[in-house]
């Protein structure tokens, strides 16, 4: 973890570089440091997935409205300062990448962060982590 999932109105795909946005968001997550300078997220566990909505209705439907919802799920135990820094970093990347569209028409952006406080099962199997944990 972290897992960042983007859900957006399909019209944004025609106007935005979604693969580039995913990379920039992943890089923002990997750049985050806690109060002690330690990386907040593991390289091998960082994922950004983006999905255009198959069906959608935004606001009253009378305008050319777009929307992007970003939900970050991360393990618990990080400070409020880290939550704020991560959320602000993600919001800044989204605004920067979508700015040309925001200048032309109304687009809503929502960023939410959830911690996994009450997990009842967390099964994992990965051959990614060993790639980045050499020498650690």
> 3-19 pLDDT, tens per residue?
999 999 999 999 999 99
CATH number for the domain that contains residue 103: 3.30.429.10
Residue 123 in any domain: the answer is no
Residue 112 in any domain: the answer is yes
Residue 131 in any domain: the answer is no
Quote the CA–CA distance of 17 and 23 in Å, as a whole number: 10
Domains identified in the chain, total number:
1
* 77 phi-psi bin (left φ>0, alpha ψ -120 to 50, beta other): left
- For the cut 90, the answer to whether the pLDDT of residue 123 exceeds it is no
pTM higher than 0.85 for the full model?
Answer: yes
Quote the CA–CA distance of 9 and 130 in Å, as a whole number: 36
Note down the domain range covering 15. Answer: 3-52+68-117
- Give me the phi and psi of 60, to 5 degrees please: -90, 0
> 28-73 pLDDT, tens per residue?
999 999 999 999 999 999 999 999 999 999 999 998 999 999 999 9
Cα dist from 71 to 37, 74, 75, 78, whole Å: 25, 10, 13, 17
Cα–Cα nearest to 111, from 100, 98, 124: 98
What is the chain's percent helix, strand, coil content, to nearest 5?
A: 40, 25, 40
């Amino acid at each position: 973890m972290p897992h960042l999932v983007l859900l957006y109105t399909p019209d944004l795909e025609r106007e935005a570089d979604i693969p580039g946005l995913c990379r920039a968001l992943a890089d923002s997550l990997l750049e985050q440091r806690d109060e002690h300078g330690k990386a907040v997220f593991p390289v091998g566990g960082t994922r950004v997935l983006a999905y255009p909505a198959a069906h959608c209705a935004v606001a009253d439907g009378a305008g050319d409205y777009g929307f992007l919802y970003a939900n970050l799920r991360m393990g618990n135990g990080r400070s409020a300062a880290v939550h704020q820094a991560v959320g602000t970093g993600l919001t800044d990347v989204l605004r920067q990448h979508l700015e040309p569209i925001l200048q032309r028409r109304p687009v809503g952006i929502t960023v939410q962060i959830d911690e996994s406080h009450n997990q009842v099962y967390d099964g994992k199997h990965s051959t990614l982590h060993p790639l980045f944990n050499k020498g650690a």
